[in-house]
């Protein structure tokens, strides 16, 4: 049996949690595994001024965001294997690289920016244009 893999971008937003939920349900139906990817990087201004409360732990914070999303969605698709991944870099580039061996890339859209008459964020827009596999964009409609 061929292994199927779905990459999901998780950033703590409501739309990314909704994307994770969708991917889990789809993985349960198709027998795929999930790679839940959270990306972090140092802010462009990092290191210019001393931090008021000590050293920031950007990677640790990203790991907490991913753990919270996974906890919130646990139980949706029992038996689906989920690999949590925290990577430093630019979100759009990291997700496109992660999607190289995937069957599907699932991302949420916060709705910043414009694309084809719909509002898509810059990360989801970049993924649509550069992903080596199909991309599903999940919007968080209220």
The domain spanning residue 26 has which CATH number?
3.40.50.620
Model confidence at 58: pLDDT above 50: yes
β partners of residue 139: 109
| Interacting residues of 99 by C-beta distance below 8 A, sequence separation 6+ | 7, 105, 127, 131, 132, 133, 135
**What percent of the chain has pLDDT above 90?**
73
**Mean pLDDT value of segment 44-58:** 65
Q: Is the pLDDT higher at 43 or at 135?
A: 135
Half-sphere exposure of 19 (CA within 13 A, CB side): 30
8 Å CB contact between 73 and 26: no
Model confidence at 133: pLDDT above 50: yes
pLDDT score, position 53: 57
Model confidence at 142: pLDDT above 70: no
Q: What is the CA radius of gyration of the chain?
A: 16
**Mean pLDDT value of segment 2-17:** 92
Nearest Cα to Cα of residue 64 among 102, 10, 27, 108: 10
Average pLDDT, the chain: 87
8 Å CB contact between 1 and 30: no
Q: Tens digits of per-residue pLDDT, 73-131?
A: 999 999 999 999 999 999 999 999 999 999 999 999 875 444 344 444 689 999 999 99
Question: What CA dihedral angle connects 68, 17, 40 and 66, to 10 degrees?
Answer: 20
Q: How many domains does the chain have?
A: 1
Structural domain for 32, as ranges: 5-139
């Amino acid at each position: 049996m061929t292994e199927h893999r779905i990459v999901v971008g998780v950033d703590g937003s409501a739309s990314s949690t909704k994307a994770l939920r969708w991917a889990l349900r789809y993985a349960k139906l198709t027998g795929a595994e999930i790679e839940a990817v959270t990306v972090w990087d140092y802010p462009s201004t990092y290191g210019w001024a001393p931090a008021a409360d000590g050293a920031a732990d950007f990677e640790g914070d990203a790991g907490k965001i991913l753990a919270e999303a996974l906890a919130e969605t646990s139980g949706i698709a029992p038996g689906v294997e989920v690999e949590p991944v925290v990577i430093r870099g630019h979100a759009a580039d990291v997700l496109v690289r992660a999607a190289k061996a995937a069957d599907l890339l699932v991302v949420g859209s916060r709705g910043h920016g414009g694309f084809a008459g719909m509002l898509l964020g810059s990360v989801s827009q970049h993924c649509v244009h550069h992903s080596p596999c199909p991309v599903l964009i999940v919007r968080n409609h209220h």
